A and B are shown apart, each in its own frame.
Chain A
Amino acid sequence: MGCVAHTRGVSTPAAYLEDALLVDRCLGGEQAAARELFRREHRRVQATLYRVLGSNRDMDDLIQDVFLQVFTSLRGYRAEARLSTWIDRVAVRVAYRYLAGKKRQPIAVDMVADEPPAPRLSLHAQAVAREGVRRLYGVLAELPPAARIAFALHVLDGRAVKEVAELTGTTVTATKVRIWRARRALDKAAERDPLLAELVTEDDA
């Protein structure tokens, strides 16, 4: 289950200035700035939450929760990281609280999309993916929220371990341990589940 970290939120000087000015406008009470912030960030927020939760169920509430927390904490944002990174941290915290509140109840994976995804995979692959993903999130649902989030952010969302550690407010070592635990649980489940094994092992191929 290897993964490749990809770069997010290019950190150019102009980007930092853009962040600072947008935050200033929000703090000035400008509603248009709040909408601009939403339009700029909501896709990444949704993607982060989706990777962790495996579903768009409750997504509207969660996204609203993320942005409410962003707005009420905005005065504390100190530009020590990109605004997008800071918002990611808020999204991860919201996801954690949501999962902790669920007390490890398996979350039904809603594979009915709002919009049909682009047909990039063959029909067979799509069918395998749908069922495999459902089972994958079934296994993840049995894990502690911290392990589930670390795994989802690193393996499913492709973030570097260091970035996951920063987002979850823990050490790199602890993050590695969490990811390893999740992988071990997944590997064990895959031994008994050929479909899940296909999803997982193909990833290693």
Chain B
Amino acid sequence: MNRLADKIPVEPLSDERRARLEDEVASLFVRARVADAPRARRWPWLLAPVAVAAAVALALTARGRDDRAAIVVEVAPPAAVDAQPMRVVTPPGAGVRVPLGDAIVDVAGDSAVEIATGDATEVRLLRGAVTCDVEPRGDRAPFAVVAGDVSVTVVGTRFEVARADAVRVAVDHGVVRVASPSGTAELTAGQTWTSAPQPPASLPRWARAELTDPEPVAAVGDKPRRPRKPTTPPPVTDEPAPLPQPRRPRGSMRNEAFTAAAAAEADGDLARAITEYARALRDAPAGSPEAQYALYSMAFLANASGDHATALRRAEAYDRAYPRGIYAKDALWLRIYVHHTRGGHARARALAERYVDRFGLDKYGIAASRLLE
């Protein structure tokens, strides 16, 4: 025994005090609305790799699915981030709003922009479109959008700049000054301006990324979707080839809970399927194939329904419970896959190393070894 610890016994709480605490904690649980708490947002497609790093605090707020600026990114004051530009890449159909103090930049879906702040704010549009709502500059720092060789300087206005084969500027209200090799023009509310056709831009690697986030603007409470067919993971990585998707557990089990789970899956009701698998897991003998099947299915379906944190937790529980189980390889691969596709590359590599050490170079092992290169 630890003698000093033995001389300092922990004074227990009385039963009455403990019961009161339990009620208060249960009440806190209800107020915390744990079940309704938003899931961790899926944002690896939001690139700020070398840019803002620790200087930027990200606060992601979910909004409606159809809202073009579905995600709000709060950035630190310009002084804290002026050393390097912030890079934003958006997938098709999902925009990003970047508040910059006295200006708001709405980056449209399928766009790539670089935002530099400091003495002046410069939004470099590499592809796609941005809409800027900028307060009158006056004594404020200059604000400009640069799209190729076209430069749009803001006087104080709301306007859109789109870049495709040509650069198009549309002013909603206020005044902007457009400079291009063909001269300068001042646009007022309601006016548009289109540049001469632009040569194909040579985009940096990060801006070329074609993002395919499965559900970047999913609203909390959206119904889970059916399991997706294998798709290419978001290529916001250095990986040359897609990784294989985790496999669905093979075979089936015959008892009421498994039958109900299979029926729910067939209906696309993944939440109910998971509930049924949880029931099956509780009923199955510990360590039995049924228990393993149920637990891995719960992990797999959590991932399929987009709840990656829960998928990781269940796969980790599987790994702890059945390190040599029937689905041990699949559970470990699921963790690698989720970490990797969600931007946790360091963790994915560590798990990939573990996979290769433990299981060698099988199908997943070869894919895992690619992560270690």
Q: What residues of A have a CB within 8 angstroms of the CB of B322 in the complex? A: 13
**A–B complex contacts, Cβ < 8 Å, 26 sampled:** A3-B2, A14-B286, A19-B317, A20-B313, A21-B278, A24-B298, A24-B314, A27-B35, A42-B18, A43-B12, A46-B13, A50-B10, A56-B13, A60-B21, A63-B21, A64-B25, A71-B32, A72-B32, A72-B34, A75-B39, A75-B309, A75-B310, A113-B11, A113-B12, A117-B9, A156-B5
Q: What residues of A have a CB within 8 angstroms of the CB of B298 in the complex? A: 24
A50 contact from B11, B14, B25, B286, Cβ within 8 A: B11
- Which residue among B32, B291, B295, B322 has the maximum number of chain A CB atoms within 10 Å of its CB? B32
Q: What residues of A have a CB within 8 angstroms of the CB of B282 in the complex? A: 21
6 further contact pairs, Cβ within 8 A, besides A14-B286, A46-B10, A67-B29: A20-B317, A35-B25, A35-B26, A71-B28, A79-B312, A118-B9
Q: Is the CB of A155 within 8 A of B4?
A: yes
A64 contact from B7, B21, B309, B320, Cβ within 8 A: B21
Give per-residue flags for A118-153: 1 if the beta carbon is below 8 A from chain B beta carbons, else 0: 101100010001001100100000000000000000
Whole-angstrom CA separation of A6 from B313 in the bound complex: 27
Whole-angstrom CA separation of A29 from B36 in the bound complex: 8
CB distance from A197 to the nearest CB of B (A): 13
Whole-angstrom CA separation of A133 from B314 in the bound complex: 44
Whole-angstrom CA separation of A15 from B5 in the bound complex: 27
Q: Is the CB of B11 within 8 A of A114?
A: yes
- Which residue among B20, B28, B40 has the maximum number of chain A CB atoms within 10 Å of its CB? B28
- Which residue among A11, A20, A76, A205 has the maximum number of chain B CB atoms within 10 Å of its CB? A20
Flag whether B114 is at the interface (Cβ < 8 A): no
**Chain A: which residue is nearest B34 at the CB level?**
A71
Q: Is the CB of B40 within 8 A of A75?
A: yes
**Chain B: which residue is nearest A49 at the CB level?**
B10
Q: Which positions 6-60 of chain A face chain B at CB distance < 8 Å?
A: 6, 11, 13-14, 16-17, 19-21, 23-24, 26-29, 31, 34-35, 38-39, 42-43, 46-47, 50-51, 54, 56, 59-60
Flag whether A98 is at the interface (Cβ < 8 A): no
Q: Is the CB of A115 within 8 A of B12?
A: yes
Q: Which positions 281-316 of chain B face chain A at CB distance < 8 Å?
A: 281-282, 286-287, 291, 295, 298, 309-310, 312-314, 316
Flag whether B24 is at the interface (Cβ < 8 A): yes
Q: What residues of A have a CB within 8 angstroms of the CB of B286 in the complex? A: 13-14, 17
